[in-house]
Structure 1
Amino acid sequence: MATGTRRTVLITGTSSGIGLATAVAAARAGWNVVATMRDPGKGDALGKAAAAAAVAEHVHVRRLDVTDARLVAAVVEDAVVEFGGLDAVVNNAGAGHVGTIELETVADVRATMEVNFFGVVEVTKAAMPHLRASGGRLVTVTSVGGVVGQPFNEAYCAAKFAVEGYMESLAPVAAAVGVTVSVVEPGAVGSEFVANLGVDIPAYAATAGPYRPAFTHYLDRTTQAFAAAQTIDEAAAPIVAVLAAERPPFRVQTSPRAREFTGVKLADLDGSAVQSLTGGWVSAPS
């Protein structure tokens, strides 16, 4: 059990965006937070947000690259020793990726899978014995892109689909040993996620060749979607609610728009509804 009366949650990817907001919100909700990030030198924003919320003493920054198996194991073990146990994990770390297979390498696809899927698996493997000991919970932030495949997001959606399938399969097994598993699916969120894609969008469009018209339409649609995005605090609230819920559901969307969007897929037995929807993203209106 966590130090004092607070339970302990380890959250990955907390230097910005949903992870940052979740770390602060969880601390405000009474959790002791192990806030991990690949580069603690980028932790100023989290530190300032935690101080502003008067919870800085309950937010403990640790360096963690989720693709480094040895470091993952060490950070989890150190947290258990330092804080007396581990009651929950929020797998949030990830990286966006824009591209299509003819214009990128298979290595690009593998790298996207490594961060977004295998990183989640590494943290989950390291945490499960401790979550089993505490009767804890495992929460993984996926995406509406883990339910609905999206144009020019092939590798990213493949990784998120894999995470959803992994967690859906793990959930009953984990439940049998007292661990609750949930996935949380944000839609468009106003964070640094898009800025951190690592893609020069104008340059990509200029070299897209036969894909340029489709990519231009996709970019226009996506820009509009992010103009009406949730805030990071709005996206973090359902994650913290899952941590606190007596009987959390397996799947949670973070907004009505995300529920509507994923609902198209979940009710689409032959796939035609999704193809009709996303096909409109890459072509001019008729």
Structure 2
Amino acid sequence: MTTARIALITGTSSGIGLAAAVAVARAGHHVVATMRDTGRSGALLAAAEAAGVADRIEVARLDVTDPRSVEACVAGVVARHGRLDAVVNNAGAGYVGTVEQDGLKPVRATMEVNFFGVVDVTRAALPHLRAVGGRVVTVTSVGGVVGQPFNEAYCAAKFAVEGFMEALAPVAATVGVKVIVVEPGAVASEFVASQGLDIPALLAAAGPYAPALDAYAARTRAAFTRAQTPEQAAESVVEALTAEQPPFRMQTSETARAFVGAKLADLDGSAVQELTGGWVG
């Protein structure tokens, strides 16, 4: 049985997940760094070696959309280490588009990864987290609070995760498990690059929505020039795991706090509609 605290983190091949795996290991946890394709672990292992924490990170396969993979991964962690102290739900997939043009298929696929995958990993982990008074930390997004143009599927999934976790938190607290959501804003990471967006092609297919999409793309490019690094965002994940009394909701930057704060103070929705309406002309 391992005496160190064991943290399972999903989606660690790049971006916030990779940075969080290294940062959480540096904070003293033994990290089970999971990813769908373990052949993509090279960047993580190199970063762990450079940070001097290679001995506190192990790579494991986990596809959050496959229930058998979820069960096998969580059971394997407990079998190897005798415990599970924390889960960081980080794996996710972005999608840019609008429902009239694209239909339901991408909406369902985005929900499968960003919502149902989170729910299933959390469900599988909870019995073990109850045993040790552990934590569920979920990386959502400011897009889980503020609906953003051409991110209908992504925001719907992140809204769902936020609602799920907000409802679960007081219930989990009765059995000693803390639930926290971490909300990044713009982060300069491979998550963005991995979307493989061909803006000219999207514009060509956007029909009547092309002017709005063009304006949104220009605004988004400008926002990401001011993005924080994955390492900066990962600091909030570490805080969520180590603070004695972490809040339920944590933003990763002042920009994210201001953005989320504007929504939470906007009782009739007019301020947000005015803000995001400006992004699309």
TM-score band by shorter chain is over 0.9
- What pairs with 1:78-157 in structure 2 (closer than 5 Å)? 78-157=76-155
| SS at 2:280 equivalent | coil
| SS at 1:194 equivalent | helix
Aligned residues: 281
Q: Does residue 3 of structure 1 match 2:5? A: no
Deviation at 1:243, TM superposition (A): 0.3
The CA distance in 2 between the partners of 1:28 and 1:133, in whole Å, is: 24
Deviation at 1:152, TM superposition (A): 0.1
- What pairs with 1:180-191 in structure 2 (closer than 5 Å)? 180-191=178-189
Deviation at 1:105, TM superposition (A): 1.9
Q: Which runs of 5+ in 1 are unaligned?
A: none
Q: Is the 8 A contact 1:95 1:196 kept in 2?
A: no
Deviation at 1:202, TM superposition (A): 1.7
Aligned twin of 2:28: 30
The CA distance in 2 between the partners of 1:63 and 1:57, in whole Å, is: 18
In the alignment, residue 66 of structure 2 is paired with which amino acid? Answer: D
The CA distance in 2 between the partners of 1:101 and 1:198, in whole Å, is: 19
Aligned twin of 2:239: 241
Q: Percent same amino acid among aligned pairs?
A: 69
What are the Cα deviations for residues 219-247 of structure 1, in whole angstroms up to 9, with x where unaligned? 00000001100000000001101100101
Aligned twin of 1:231: 229
Aligned twin of 1:273: 271
RMSD of aligned Cα (Å):
0.8
The CA distance in 1 between the partners of 2:66 and 2:142, in whole Å, is: 27
TM-score, scaled to structure 2: 0.99
Aligned twin of 2:38: 40
Deviation at 1:201, TM superposition (A): 2.1
Q: Is the 8 A contact 1:190 1:232 kept in 2?
A: yes
TM-score, scaled to structure 1: 0.97
The CA distance in 2 between the partners of 1:46 and 1:34, in whole Å, is: 12
Aligned twin of 1:166: 164
The CA distance in 1 between the partners of 2:52 and 2:219, in whole Å, is: 39
The CA distance in 1 between the partners of 2:158 and 2:236, in whole Å, is: 19
Aligned twin of 2:217: 219
The CA distance in 2 between the partners of 1:266 and 1:126, in whole Å, is: 31
Deviation at 1:198, TM superposition (A): 4.1
Deviation at 1:194, TM superposition (A): 1.4
The CA distance in 2 between the partners of 1:129 and 1:46, in whole Å, is: 29
| SS at 1:33 equivalent | strand
Q: Does residue 263 of structure 1 match 2:261? A: yes
| SS at 1:193 equivalent | helix
In the alignment, residue 45 of structure 1 is paired with which amino acid? Answer: A
Detail structure 1 runs of 4+ shifted over 3 Å in the superposition: none
Q: Is the 8 A contact 1:185 1:258 kept in 2?
A: yes
| SS at 2:108 equivalent | helix
In the alignment, residue 2 of structure 2 is paired with which amino acid? Answer: T
In the alignment, residue 258 of structure 1 is paired with which amino acid? Answer: A
The CA distance in 2 between the partners of 1:28 and 1:86, in whole Å, is: 18
Aligned twin of 1:61: 59
